[in-house]
Structure 1
Amino acid sequence: MSNIRNTILEYISKNPGIRYRELLRMLGLTNGVLSYHLYRLESEQMIRIERDGGMTRYYASDVKQDEANILGMLRIPTARRIISYMLENDGSATLDEIAFMLGKAQSTIFWHMKRLMEKGLVNKHDSKYMLRSKHLIAEVLARYNEQLVERVADNYADMMEDLNF
C-alpha cells in the first residue's frame, strides 16, 4: 500500500466518522488525489464509507456499525451535548428538560432527537426520550472524547483563521 494511503488510513482510524473536507484540510491533498486513494481504500475493504443525507463519513473497516452510528452523532456538537446530558441523567430526559439545559429551542432539540431515533440511539416512551445501549454510548464517548473535542477546537480555529485576511 502506498504511503499516501497509509497516511489516509491512519487519519481515518484515529478520527472515525471524519468527513471528506476534514480529510482534505488535514492532509493537504488535492481533491482528485484524495478521491482516488479513498476509492482504492474502499475497494480494498480497508475503510467503510457511509453516506447519510448528503453527509459522507469515513470509518476504518474494523469499526462496528453500531459504534459508527454513535460516532457519527457524537461528531455533531448539539447531538453530543444532548447525549452527554442524557447520560448524566440516568439515560432519559424530556424535550423540555433538554431544551432548557442546553439553552436551545425545542424545535432544534426535536430535530436532533429525530435524528438520534433514526440512528437507533434513542427511543421515545410517552414524553420521555431514553438512550438505547446507554453503556455502549458511554464507552464510545469515553474512548473517542479527546478526538471529538480536538476536532471541535480545530474547526473553530480554522474558522477564526479564515476570518483573518
Structure 2
Amino acid sequence: MEPDDFLRDEYARLILKSTTTYKPVSEIHKETGIPLGTIYRRLELLKDAGLLQVAGYIENGVKVKTYHNKPRRYHVSNPRISRILEIIQKNPAISYRDIQKISGYPFGTLSNSLSNLEKDSKITVKRFTRRTHYFPSHIPSAEYPVLINLRKETAKKIIIFLAENKKGTYADFRKCTNRAPSTISITLTKLIEEKIIKRISDFTPYFILEEPQFVQNILAKISPSNTDKMKDRFADTFSYF
C-alpha cells in the first residue's frame, strides 16, 4: 500500500484515529472493535509506511508495545519527506550537504526529516569521521563501499577506467584523473584496503578490480544526472535504478 491508500482503508483510518496517544493493541482493539489479527496486520503495514511510531513498556516482566499516530509532518506522504527519500533513492551514498543543496531545505528541517526516515528504516545511514552517507534501505550493504567511492572524483575515475579497460597502471590513472601523484597513491591505497581493487605485481605493476562483475552490475544501475550541477568536486551525482 502507498501512504495515501491507508486514508481510504477503513481499518487503517480507525487505527490511526485511535492512536492519537500511545496505546497497546488491547486498547486499540477495545476502542475500534477491529479483530486482533487485522489490527496486527494493519499495524505492521502502517509502521512500514512510516505512519506510526512504536514504543513500549515493561509490565510484570513482559514488554508491551504501544503505537502512536506519527505527526503528519513526518509521514512519507508528506511532500517534503517524500522529496528527501526520492533524492536518496536516486543518489545512494549521497552526503548530508549534498541532500541539503539539492532539496534546499533548512538544516534543522532536514536533520529531523532524515532522523525520522532512519528510525522508520526507510534509509540506512553510514557515519564516518568527516562525512555521513545516506542509502535507500533496499540497497545491499555489500554495495556501500563501491557506491561511496563512486561519489569521490578520483576514485570514481579509477573504478570506471578499470571497469572499461580491465586493468590499469599508475601512469594510466595519472592520465585519466589528471590528479597529483599523492592523491592517486592515497586513493589507490584506500581502494585496495576496501577490497575494490587489487595490485598485481609485474615488470610494470598494474591494478584490476577485485570483483569486476560485481562492480559492473552496480555501474549498470547508474546513469549521470543532468539535474544537479554541484561545484563540490567530491560530489558527482548519479541516479540509481
TM > 0.5 fold call: yes
1:134 aligned partner, one-letter code: P
Q: Which runs of 4+ in 1 moved over 6 A?
A: none
Deviation at 1:68, TM superposition (A): 1.9
Unaligned ranges ≥5, structure 1: 158-165
Aligned residue among 118, 142, 145 for 2:223: 145
1:125 corresponds to which residue? 200
RMSD of equivalent CA atoms: 2.0
1:145 positional shift: 2.6
Question: Is the 8 Å Cα contact of residues 157 and 176 (structure 2) preserved in structure 1?
Answer: no
Choose between structure 1 and 2 for higher RCO, CA contacts under 8 A separated by at least 6 residues.
1
After superposition, the C-alpha distances for 1:116-148 in whole angstroms (9 at most, x for unaligned) are 12322112232322211111212212311323x
Equivalent position of 1:37 in the other structure: 113
Does residue 155 of structure 1 match 2:233?
Answer: no
Which structure is larger by alpha-carbon Rg, 1 or 2? 2
Counterpart contact for 2:154–2:179, Cα < 8 Å: no
1:78 aligns with 154
Indicate the residue corresponding to 2:8 in structure 1.
none
Percent sequence identity over aligned pairs:
28
Counterpart among 111, 131, 136 of residue 55 in structure 1: 131
Cα deviation for residue 75 of structure 1 reads 1.0
**For residues 56-102 of structure 1, what are the alpha-carbon distances to aligned partners after superposition, in whole Å with 9 as ceiling and x for unaligned?**
11001111112221111111111111112112222x22223322443
TM-score (norm 1): 0.82
User: 1:113 matched to which residue of 2?
Assistant: 188
- Which amino acid in the other structure matches residue 173 of structure 2? I
CA distance in 1, matches of 2:102, 2:180: 33
Counterpart contact for 2:149–2:156, Cα < 8 Å: yes
Higher helix content, 1 or 2? 1
Query: Who is 1:103 aligned against?
Result: 178
Q: TM (normalized to structure 2)?
A: 0.58
SS class of match (1:71): helix
